[in-house]
Amino acid sequence: MPRIAAVATALPPHSFAQSEIRAACERVWSEQEDLRRLCAVFDRSGVERRHFAFPLDYYLAGPPFDVRNADFIREGTALAAKAARACLARAGVPADRVDHLFLVTTTGLATPSLDARLVETLGLRRDVRRWPLFGLGCAGGAGGLARAEAVLRDRPSERALVVSVELCGQIFSPRAQTPVDVIGAALFGDGAAAALVEGADPGAGARIRASHAVLFENTREVMGWNFTSDGMRLVLSREVPQVVLGPVREAVFDFLHRLEVPPTEVKYWILHPGGRRVIDTYLRAFGLSEPDVEWTRRSIARVGNLSSASVLFILADVMAGGAPRPGEKGLLCALGPGFGAEMLLIEG
């Protein structure tokens, strides 16, 4: 089985308490009483601190989309490279030994894609196989791992570097004035993560026993972006918890059943932190207790929702403690636009 040999993360330099971000947003919406009242969601989100590529004044000034996107390309490439270098150093693998580069993002547009830029920045081989992934949203980190696992099953001598970078702050615009925009401003932060996946099984790390993806019917409008002249606008339905309790629960249990793994045997639940309501719904959907979602709650409190990078941040936290140990199992699951789910079963 392919294994995750190492995971590393990177955060941009500007860090703010949730109370600071709320105060700034209240100034933006000072003349919209309904939006200012909705800012109470900042205190109920489970987020305590977030990191961004720029100071708060940058976002409040509302630079146009072309400027924000150019800044995404520059700062996103640098942050992705930082996470990737840390991952390779942790694994003790030179950059020229990487055979596949998966680059996951959904918060900026670039052609050539960021992976092409990373080849020279990281010193990867010119014949490295590049796999740019855009549009999987919050499911992208799990999706990148799953696609790397699928490629390496038939190539046990090769390695894949999965890099997720999200600058969610670049989506913010003071001209965005809907309740969903407020929720987005209360949840999302910037960050990058990288995972090295090796086709050969021996060695330390987490083996990927299986992966699975599913696209649910009649849920296309649940989550995504609307593309406007002022950039991307968040689409986020209140139906997400109901989808988790229904189709997502069924898909996860079916995945475990086919692998003959009872949910009670899953020691580590590495679940994307969509927000406090979604995390609370995981408890009911999967029959979990609070310790099962501790990693997820801790991550959203410390860095917020990082879209595709979030599950890799949680996986990095789990593996930093030496888990999963031999015989232990973990389920990594993330949800994203489509509406769909990406999941993997890992073992020590």
Q: Each residue of 143-183: pLDDT tens digit?
A: 999 999 999 999 999 999 999 999 999 999 999 889 999 99
**Whats the size of the chain, residue-wise?**
348
Any residues with CB less than 8 A from the CB of 123 and at least 6 apart, and which? 95, 96
pLDDT digits over 265-310, tens only? 999 999 999 999 999 999 999 999 999 999 999 999 999 999 999 9
Q: Is pLDDT of 98 > 70? A: yes
* 267, 14 contact by CB (below 8 A): no
The residue annotated as part of the active site, out of 25, 39, 87, 138, is 138
Calculate the average pLDDT of the chain: 95
Q: What is the pLDDT of residue 43?
A: 95
pLDDT digits (tens, 9 = 90+) for 247-258: 999 999 999 999
Q: What's the pLDDT tens digit per position in 18-75?
A: 999 999 999 999 989 999 999 999 999 999 999 999 999 999 999 999 999 999 999 9
φ and ψ at residue 221, rounded to 5 degrees: -90, 5
Burial of 262 (0-12, 13-18, 19+ CB in 10 A): exposed
CB atoms within 10 A of CB 171: 25
pLDDT classification of 103: cutoffs 50, 70, 90:
very high
Q: What is the pLDDT of residue 92?
A: 95
User: At residue 120, does pLDDT exceed 80?
Assistant: yes
pLDDT for 233 equals 93
- Give CA–CA dist 317/38, Å, rounded: 32
pLDDT at 203 over 80: no
The C-alpha atoms of residue 12 and residue 18 are separated, in whole angstroms, by 16
What span, in angstroms and rounded, lies between the C-alpha atoms of 231 and 4? Answer: 35
Listed ranges 101-105, 199-203, 221-225; the one with the highest mean pLDDT: 101-105
Structure tokens at 174: 């003071």
Give the span between the Cα atoms of 62 and 332, in whole angstroms: 36
- Over 159-209, what HEC string results? EEEEEEEEEHHHHCCCCCCCHHHHHHHHHECEEEEEEEEECCCCCCCEEEE
Best CA proximity match to 282, nearest among 333, 234, 325, 236: 333
Helix (H) or strand (E) holding 15: strand 14-17
Specify whether 138 is catalytic.
Answer: yes
Q: How confident is the model at residue 264 (pLDDT cuts 50, 70, 90)?
A: very high
Reply yes or no on whether the pLDDT at 201 is more than 70: no
Confidence at 205, pLDDT banded by 50, 70, 90? confident
| Residue-level pLDDT at 176 | 87
- Which residue ranges form the domains of the chain, and what is each CATH number? 3-198 (3.40.47.10), 206-347 (3.40.47.10)
- pLDDT of 200 reads 78
